Amino acid sequence: MSATSKPLKKKLSLFLLAAGMVVSLAAVALPYPGPGEGYVFTYYSDATRTVEVGGMGYGHCGEPFQWGERTRYFTYAKSTCGWEP
């Protein structure tokens, strides 16, 4: 291996690591509610999604709330409410 390819491989590795981090951060971004919209998340203990362990709601259809724990196993629903421009 030549001396010039080591720095190039190191730079490429760092770039790929940074790109992976950006993609993973975008994957956990919460959807932004528009006017008259809200989101409700339900969190579950495992991938079977049978035991609820937490919940969260936010948006323009009531007060934000959060209870229990947040896990990587969740479902969410978008709701609409009577918002007038």
Cα-Cα-Cα-Cα dihedral of 28, 33, 39, 44, to 10°?
Answer: 0
Is pLDDT at 1 greater than 60 in this prediction?
no
Range from 2-11, 16-25, 44-53 carrying the lowest mean pLDDT: 16-25
Least confident range from 7-11, 16-20, 62-66, 75-79: namely: 16-20
Q: Using CA atoms, how far apart are residues 48 and 54, in angstroms rounded to an integer?
A: 15
Average pLDDT over residues 63-83: 92
pTM given for the model: 0.61
Mean of pLDDT over the chain: 82
The domain segmentation of the chain, as residue ranges, is 1-30, 31-85
